[in-house]
Amino acid sequence: MNAFLGYANTLTIYNLTNFQLSHHPTRLQFSNFGIFQSFNTYLCPVENQKIDIRKLSLTELEEYFLANGEKKFRAKQVYDWLWNKSLKNFDDMSNISLSTREMLKENFIINHIQVDLMQHSSDGTIKNAVKLFDDKIVESVLIPTTKRITACVSSQVGCSLDCNFCATARLKRMRNLTPGEIYDQVVAIKEEAETYFQRPLTNIVFMGMGEPLLNYANVIEAIDKITSPEGLGMAPRRITLSTVGVTKMIRKMADDEVKFNLAVSLHSAINETRSRLMPINDSNPVEELGEALKYWYQKTKRKVTYEYVIWDGINDDEKHARALAKFCKIIPSKVNLIQYNPIDEGEFRQAKQEAVDMYVRILEQNGIIAKVRKSRGQDIDAACGQLANKNEVAQLNNI
Ligand code: SF4
C-alpha cells in the first residue's frame, strides 16, 4: 500500500517458485531433503536453478543438515548468519567448515537484494532503488525526524489496485516480494540510519509500493523475522501496516492476533468519492470497511490510523470532513492529514490551507486526534504517492 499516499506455507512457496511439480523422479530431485520425503509428488529443482536458502525455515534447515550427515546445531549457526547478520555469501560463514560451505553453495543461493541507486533529499530523506534477483526494481525510503528514523518498505513489484492518485499504480503488478526481499529493505535502511545519522532504525511502515494485504503470507513472515530475536528483534508496536482496506484480510489479521499497528488509506468516507479515488472501494465499500475495523478492534483492542489526503475540488468540503469525523467514531482512531505531492499535471492537486484547517477544526470538535503531515523527500520523488521506478513508468508510457 503506497499509503503515504500512496496461503501458503513455506513448502507451498517452494512448489510455486523453486520447483516444478513432476511425476517423474530425476536424479536431481531433492529427495535427500528430509523435509520433502513425505511428499508423494516428486519435487524437482528447475534445471540449473538453486534454491534460495532463506526460503527454508529453521526446522527445514535442521532437517536438511541431519539428512546430509551434519549436526542439527549447524542449522542454527547458518540461520543466524542469514538473518541476524544478513550475510550475503556462504564464504563469510566463518564458523562453518569449508566442506559444509561448499555443500551449501552447490545446493543453494542467497537471493539478497542490492541497493542499485541511493538518492539523498535536501530534507535528509533517503530513497533506495532496490534491485531484486530477477533485476526487477522496488523502492524503499528512510525518513528521518528528530525523534525517529522510519523505514518505508515495499511489499510488491508494482501494484494491481489502480488507485488514481498513486504513481505505483502506473506500474503493473509484476510479482510479490519474498519475505527475504522485504526483510532486506529494512536491513539496508537500518545500515543507512547507522551510517548517515549514527542513530538506530526506530520504526517500519509498510507504505511503499504494493498492497501488503495482497501479499499477506510473505509480509507476515518478514515481520516475524524482523521482530524475532534471530532476526532484528524489533518490537511489533514499531511496525505499521498500511492498507487501502482489503476487508477480508483485515479480519484475517484480527483472527491472527497480529501485534503490529494498522493504518488505512481512507481519503474519503463517502462511497462515491472513494470509489472514484480507489476502485477497490467498489468491492470493499465504506460500510464493509467499518465493519471489518470493528472486528479488528474487538479482537486486538488496537486503534487504527486513517491516512487521508485532501485534494482540491475532490474532498475538500465540509460534507467530506463531517463524513470522516463520523467514520472515525466507529472505533478508536486518529487521523493523519497528509500533504499531497502531484505526480503529474493531472486532476489531483493539494487542497488549499483553508480546507485543511476546516478538516482539523471539525475533527477536533468531534474529539478526534488529527495531525497534519508534511511529505518528505519531494525533490527525489520519495514522498507520499510518488514511489514508482521512474524508468519503468517511462518505459510503460513510452516516454
Ligand atoms: S495503487 Fe497500490 S501502491 Fe498505490 S496507493 Fe493503491 S494500493 Fe497503494
Per run of 10 residues, the mean pLDDT along the chain (length 399 residues) is 37 27 26 32 46 94 95 95 94 96 95 94 93 94 94 94 84 91 97 97 95 97 95 96 97 97 97 96 98 98 95 96 98 93 77 95 97 76 55 39
Residue from 57, 126, 113 nearest 86 by CA: 113
Q: Which of 60, 62, 70, 139 is catalytic?
A: 139
Give the pLDDT confidence of 251-265 residue by residue, as tens digits. 999 999 999 999 999
Q: Model confidence over 193-210: pLDDT tens digits?
A: 999 999 999 999 999 999
Ligand 1 centroid to residue 257 C-alpha, Å: 25
260 touches 239 (CB < 8 A): yes
Q: Are the C-beta atoms of residues 1 and 245 closer than 8 Å to each other? A: no
**Per-residue pLDDT tens digits for 50-89:** 899 999 999 999 999 999 999 999 999 999 999 999 999 9
How far, in Å, is the centroid of ligand 1 from the Cα of 322? 25
User: What is the rounded end-to-end Cα distance, in angstroms, of the chain?
Assistant: 26
Measured distance CA(301)–CA(299) in Å, rounded: 6
φ, ψ of residue 101 to 5 degrees: the values are -60, -40
CB of 130 closer than 6 angstroms to any ligand 1 atom: no
Radius of gyration of the chain (CA): 22
Give CA separation, 203 vs 236, 251, 284, 317, 338, in Å.
9, 24, 29, 33, 18
Q: What is the pTM of this model?
A: 0.84
244 lines ligand 1 (CB under 6 A): yes
What proportions of the chain, in percent to the nearest 5, are helix, strand and coil?
40, 20, 40
The preferred substitution site among 5, 166, 250, 381 for testing ligand 1, maximizing ligand atoms within 8 Å of CB, is 166
Our CA angle for 86, 55, 24, nearest 5°, is 145
The structural architecture, per CATH, of the domain 114-396 is Alpha-Beta Barrel (3.20)
Which residue has a Cα nearest atom 7 of ligand 1?
Answer: 1
Does ligand 1 lie within 6 Å of residue 93's CB atom? no
Domain 10-109 in this protein, CATH class:
mainly alpha
CB atoms within 10 A of CB 270: 17
> Cα of 277 to ligand 1 centre, how many Å?
11
**338-377 b/e with 16+ CB inside 10 Å = b?**
bbbbebeeeebebbeeebbebbbebbeeeebebeeeebbb
Q: Sketch the domain layout of the chain as residue ranges.
A: 10-109, 114-396
139 is catalytic: yes
